[in-house]
Amino acid sequence: MLALGSLAAWALALALLCLLAMELWGPGGGSWLPSREPGGAGEEEDGDNVIGDGGPGAGRCRLICKSSALAQSLLRSLRRSAALQSGRWLWRTWPQLQTMFQLLFPPTHQPELARELLQLADGGLVALDWVMGPRGTGRRSRATIAFGTAPVLLVLPNASGKVTRGVLHLCLLALEQGYKPVIFNRRGHNGSPLASLKLQAFGDPGDLKEAVTYIRVRQPGSSLCAVSEGSGSGLLLSYLGECGSSSYLAAAACISPVFRCQAWLETGCPWLYEWSLLLHQKQGLSRYATALAEVVETGRLFRSRSLRELEETLFCQTKSHPVTWDAYWDRNDPLREVDEAAVPVLCICSADDPVRGPPASTLPMELFHSSPYFFLLLTPHGGHCGFLREGSCSWSHEVMLEYFTAVAEFFRTEERLKGLHRYRRGVLQKREASSTACHLQEIFSWQRSYTR
């Protein structure tokens, strides 16, 4: 009898062959979606914000955002990016294969991780996995120069807690460039112990707030950046919206974010992606089946056939405080307070994302046009969290790290100019005050004396 791992490998190989057949011979196989902005963008903005002519699977990218000095600085930085100037390659028009490769294939290099279990205020536990190695050359990187000290990079996996090949590659690349990467694992995810009968809801940032506070205490001199992958962006966007200017983040980024999460779960995503995430989440929850039986119907939980059914069983159909599906999303919609976000956020999305869905109905274009903090890098190709190029690396990771550095350099320059302006204004005011005092003394031949 074949081992369970061998059966899974054969099933994955068969699924990939099916996907390849669909790409080659299915309706529209081998084609790619146009790079025009969904929702009717103007031609002037389309031409002004175009980046590159044929990147590494990206095609003609566009930066969609509200006009500002920071936006112009980021646009110049992206146009200089080497990651967006490589040549074309074979997989660029196959979003399904890019998606499956990044999300389902095991990583070639497993980094060294040091796990910390953080006890929360209610007794629950979350796990912080600090990436320790392998390290780079030890040179002082551009990131360290831009931020002053080695910044911390907080990485949020997708909502199912799956640490994918893309997440691990991002952590290794960030480590080489001088960051201190740390992966945030929710309660019960990725081997994190379930110390209380409470799981973290989709858009509840309470646990993340405590984790950020702890990281600031542990790394008091380091700036903090955050990045999320896929559906994990719901947690990051909720955190940014609730905390506003008190988020303690220097910048944030979302790779293939899912914005309208309720509609996404109701519609469903491609069966192989949904099946893999559902299986991964059930496997993690099965460790705590006896304890969870006190609060949820575990039979219904493990018979769930969709991510929506699993989410609804865990958080809506509880034994103690059941709520309706719509009421649950009133409190967990990632966009509920997104207008309060007060740090720059770069969202890297592809028009051919098979998991998120069509751009016209899944991307909140009004947010990027109205908020000065949100920037959308929209590409015609890349799949979901794929963005692959030669060497099976993701160009989105390099662009994201360059973005963090560009933001840090922009604000350092702004602070330096403001400091110079304050200095000049102070000198000018002193000169004006001295001149006025002399003029007054000429008019009035007396000086005021002070007595104690």
Nearest to 376 by CA among 32, 31, 41: 41
- Does the annotation mark 353 as catalytic? yes
- pLDDT for res 110: 81
Q: What are 318-334's pLDDT values in tens digits?
A: 998 899 999 999 999 99
Eight-class DSSP state of 334: T
In 10 A of CB 47, how many CB atoms? 9
**Residue pLDDT, tens place only, 117-173:** 999 999 999 999 999 987 654 456 777 777 878 999 999 999 999 999 999 999 999
> pTM above the 0.85 mark?
no
Catalytic residue, chosen from 204, 333, 353, 397, is: 353
Q: What backbone torsions phi and psi does residue 223 show, to the nearest 5 degrees?
A: -70, 160
- Are 399 and 348 in contact by the 8 Å Cβ rule? The answer is yes
Indicate if 384 belongs to the active site.
Answer: yes
Strands 112-119 and 61-64 turn out to be unpaired
pLDDT in tens, 226-276: 999 999 999 999 999 999 999 999 999 999 999 999 999 999 888 888 998
Q: Would you list the domain boundaries of the chain?
A: 42-260+334-412
Cα–Cα distance for residue pair 62/452, rounded to 1 Å: 69
Residue bearing tokens 């360290």:
144
* CATH class (in words) of the domain with range 42-260+334-412: alpha beta
How many CB atoms within 10 Å of residue 238?
Answer: 26
* Token pair for 3: 């081992």
Catalytic residue among 169, 189, 381, 384: 384
Distances (CA, A) of 360 to 32, 263, 298: 15, 14, 38
Angle between helices 165-176 and 95-104 (to 10 degrees): 70
